Structure 1
Amino acid sequence: MSQCILDEYDKKIIKYLQEDSSISNIDLSKKIGLAPSSCLLRVKNLKEQRILKQFTAVVDEKMLGYEITCFAKISMHPLNRETSNQFIEEARKIPEIVECYTITGDSAFMLKIVAKNFQYYRDFIFDKLLSVPYVSNIETSIVVATEKKTNFIPLD
């Protein structure tokens, strides 16, 4: 996949949409100094190029009762394309898994998991994660404090 070349207007559009994706086209056009129709066309083009993948709300999981955030390294046995694809398919169905990455090293996957409390996480491990075929080991790190959390991608 090749890198897209963005001009200053595109970079400003991305910057302001990363700050607040609900900004109106009129307000966005004023901030970047373009006519509303030109601004709308640029946003459309950024979507078509898949630079802008989606517009979404960022939710505070703690306000919804998810007090625990964990990162879990998952090992598989046997580890091959078939078992990996099966794990990915199952992970996509489990709502507590909010991110799933294929990684290098001793483990096959890294998961970001939210849980309401420690008992909830324990039950999640036994009832959901260990029920996925070929999972051979789970190594969990529990987040004590979040020092930085952002969805911003640097533009320079």
Structure 2
Amino acid sequence: MLDDLDRRILRQMQADPGLAGAELADRVGLSAARLSRRIERLRDQKILRGPRAVINWRALGYEVEVSLRVTLDKTQPRAFDDFIEAARAIREVIEIQTFVGRVDVRLSVIARDMPHYQGIYRDQILSLPHIADIEALMHVARIKSDESLPL
């Protein structure tokens, strides 16, 4: 699917996402036009999902991150759909993941401080539908967070 040139392009884009097109073309040894066609093909193939802003939420005053592992009442046919729809409406929920196993859903929740988190938990999280069990894990440190792929 990917040739060596595609891999070089993707490695350079991962290493320096703000790289201008002309500089990227120069680094991988292509003309700007050929680079543009390659990047368009990678987007068409859904390999490149496009640019995005990565926001440092701590710089915006959010100091607390909690991971909630939720087990749902799976006797309810719409448990997943209802839960996920309601969880998406909580602004402080920044990630929702589903699993197969004892834990059904994991939510990442951010808050300004512990009183703010307690309010979110009591007023919004505990009112989510179909919760059978919930476990909170307080985030202490992020050791590795890298979306770069070994290309």
Shared fold by TM > 0.5? yes
Q: Secondary structure at the match of 1:74?
A: strand
Q: 2:71 aligns with which of 61, 72, 75?
A: 75
The answer to whether structure 1 residue 107 and structure 2 residue 115 are counterparts is: no
The separation in 2 between residues aligned to 1:34 and 1:81, in whole angstroms, is 54
Q: Which amino acid aligns with 1:138?
A: I
Q: TM-score, normalised by structure 1?
A: 0.87
Unaligned runs of at least 5 residues, structure 1? none
**The residue matched to 2:100 in structure 1 has which SS?**
coil
Aligned to 1:7: 3
In 1, the alpha carbon distance for the partners of 2:76 and 2:34 equals 48
Aligned-partner Cα distance in 2 for 1:122–1:128: 10
In the alignment, which of 113, 116, 126 is matched to residue 112 of structure 2?
116
Give the equivalent residue in structure 2 for 1:55: 51
- SS in structure 1 at match of 2:101: coil
1:33 aligns with 2:29: yes
How far does residue 79 in structure 1 lie from its aligned partner after superposition? 5.0
Q: Could you give the per-residue CA deviations for residues 112-133 of structure 1, whole angstroms, max 9, x where no partner exists? A: 2211111111111111112221
Report deviation, 1:92: 2.3
Q: TM-score, normalised by structure 2?
A: 0.90
From 110, 113, 121, the equivalent of 1:125 is 121
The two structures, once aligned, show a CA RMSD in angstroms of 1.7
Partner letter of residue 31 of structure 1? R
Give the aligned length: 151
Q: Secondary structure of the equivalent of 1:105?
A: coil
Structure 2 unaligned residues grouped into runs of 5+: none
For residue 41 of structure 2, give the secondary structure of its aligned residue in structure 1. Answer: helix
Output the CA distance in 2 between the equivalents of 1:133 and 1:79: 13
**Residue pair 1:21, 1:56 contacting (<8 A) in 2 also:** no
- The 8 Å contact of residues 69 and 136 in structure 2, kept in 1 or not, is answered as yes
